[in-house]
Amino acid sequence: MRLSFRSSSRRAARTRGMVRQSGQSMAEFLIVAPLLLFLCLGTLQFALLYQAKSTLDVAALEAARAGAVAHGSMAAMQSALARGLAPLYARNASEEGFSQALMRSNSDIAGSSTIAVVSPSDAMVRDFAFARPSLEDGTTHSEIPNDTLMYRDSSLGPQSNVSIQDANLLKIRVHYCYDMYVPLVNKVLYYAVNVIGSTGTGGLLTREPADADQDPYGHPQRPDPLCRIKLGDGTTTGKWPLALESEAMVRMQSSYRLDAASDPLQATDISSR
């Protein structure tokens, strides 16, 4: 009887110890689980950002190539940029899916991207551009010549301090707003990048924008005029834009025309393509 009582006491003690250990493990899991979930979501969002940046790099190069053969046409570069960014909008691998992705890309870049021509600069245009009649349309354009470059004078321009050969390098900078849509992480990254001054009464998880009556953008200390969104709109749509930039440089395959570089597509023209 005494041995049986001792063994029963030991089993009861082991059972109580297991219950306490199980309760402690559950409490630790409840503390760690939200952080682990956030890290997993963050990894997913950064993977998507890497994919978007890689796609933007290729799209920027495609845009530069389109401009190089079209006299630096901004319209041609915008259209090529939309084609290059179409994979980000694709939802199924079919001809119809590609058409829909291209339509969404064309419509989206009208308000969420800019293309800046870094080279040729205004100084290069002043140094080397002159009026030349065009055999294509019979009009006269102010352009930097692209023919017989190896035989042209390679002296440096007085304002640009580069040669005409270097003035025929087309360099563009693309600024694109990528909509992050991984829950919670997208909002945290947007707040961190823009240095949002104040959050709602419930913190980042609040459904109400902070100071909506004073500044619906949340008083950002590092605002991006193109890639910004009202906090209320971001909460409603679940999309928070993040600015991505890419540069590309190619050699001009046609003469650079100043008027072609300032012919951006209108929103109606883009959506109809």
- For 121-175, the pLDDT digits (tens) are 999 999 998 888 877 777 888 899 998 888 888 899 999 999 999 999 999 999 9
Same-domain status, 168 and 216: no
106-141 burial: b if 16+ Cβ within 10 Å, else e: bbbbbebbebebebbeeebbebbbeeeeeeeeeeeb
- The answer to the question of residue 5 being in a domain is no
Same-domain status, 117 and 91: yes
- The answer to the question of residue 112 being in a domain is yes
Same-domain status, 154 and 188: no
Same-domain status, 212 and 249: no
Radius of gyration for the chain, computed over Cα atoms and rounded to the nearest angstrom? 29
Same-domain status, 96 and 222: no
Find the range with the poorest average confidence among 3-17, 61-75, 81-95, 212-226. 3-17
Provide the domain limits for residue 206: 184-237
- The answer to the question of residue 191 being in a domain is yes
Instruction: Write down the pLDDT at residue 111.
Output: 86
At 207, the pLDDT band (50, 70, 90 cuts) reads low
Same-domain status, 27 and 133: yes
Same-domain status, 142 and 188: no
pTM attached to this predicted model: 0.81
Report the C-alpha gap between 159 and 56 in whole angstroms.
33
Look at the chain and report how many structural domains it folds into: 2
- Are residues 73 and 255 in contact, defined by beta-carbon separation less than 8 angstroms? no
Instruction: Write down the pLDDT at residue 68.
Output: 95
The CB density around residue 82, as the number of other CB atoms within 10 Å, is 27
